[in-house]
Amino acid sequence: MSRAARTLAVAAGVAFGTALIVYYIVSYLTVAPPVVAATGSKPRVHLTLQTVPSFGNAPHPDWVSYLAQDPRGKWVHSTVLRVPAYSRVDVTILQYDTATGLRNPFWGQPRGTIGGTINVDGKTLNVLDPNLASHTFAIPDLGVSVPLKGVAKGAKNPCSVAPCTLAQTHTTVTFSFVTGKPGKFRWQCFVPCAFGFPLGFGGPMQSIGWMDGYLMGQ
């Protein structure tokens, strides 16, 4: 290959890489997931979420993700949640992903929940074995952190395309917490579960609508 051809190939590669970066930044800044309201009314509401090992749909079919159920019972690909201020929020998370384990056992203890506990498949726990965790649901500004138990590897009826159904293998995690003054609070998963990204923290882990989002207290 001539020097001119090599130079052209390098320039084309750089241009393509730059275009991908610009596309990612523009998409991240301009695409906003819909807001999903909690079910019920102040002073007590309910949120139902699910985690899936792969979204199974465009634009990122292989990305892990959360989904939220709206008051009509429809699953929405969003992590922007609206709840009333100064209220109790009862949360149900249907967890369809397998366990990856926690790098830091600190995240294995529920924090910020009413009673300091969670309920996993009908059993009340004040700590989860870090090796059994798949994801976490954490709202740092509210002091809330909940580990989510993964399903067993090799499950007979796994789910990989969202939304998943109750007929597919999952664990059910329930807990409650109390909101305070109105505000916009970031929440996210702290388990590095972005396969194919450096340290597992890229892609869905840093994208609103996937593994992190906002809790809108109003």
pLDDT of residue 8: 64
**CA distance linking residue 136 with residue 66, whole number of Å:** 11
**CA distance linking residue 184 with residue 30, whole number of Å:** 19
- pLDDT of 196 strictly over 70: no
- pLDDT of 6 strictly over 70: no
Strands 35-37 and 80-83: parallel
- Three-class DSSP category at 4: helix
- pLDDT of 57 strictly over 80: yes
Cα end-to-end span (Å), the chain: 63
- How large is the average pLDDT for residues 176-201? 86
- pLDDT of 179 strictly over 50: yes
Domain boundaries, the chain: 1-31, 34-217
Is the distance from CB of 149 to CB of 134 less than 8 angstroms?
A: yes
pLDDT tens digits, 61-100 = 999 999 999 999 999 999 999 999 999 999 999 999 999 8
> Which amino acid, one-letter code, is at 204?
P
pLDDT of residue 30: 46
Residue with tokens 């998409």: 27
Can you give the three-state secondary structure of 41-63, one letter per residue?
Answer: ECCEEEEEEEEECCCCCCCCCCC
Between 101 and 132, residue with greater pLDDT = 132
Is the distance from CB of 174 to CB of 117 less than 8 angstroms?
A: no
pLDDT of residue 21: 55
Say whether pTM exceeds 0.75.
yes
Q: Please state which of the four CATH numbers 3.90.230.10, 1.10.10.10, 2.60.40.420, 1.10.3080.10 is assigned to the domain occupying 34-217.
A: 2.60.40.420
- pLDDT of 23 strictly over 70: no
> Which amino acid, one-letter code, is at 212?
D
Residue with tokens 């892609």: 203
φ/ψ (deg, to 5) at 11? -60, -40
Distances (CA, A) of 89 to 41, 42, 44, 60, 114: 10, 9, 6, 30, 10
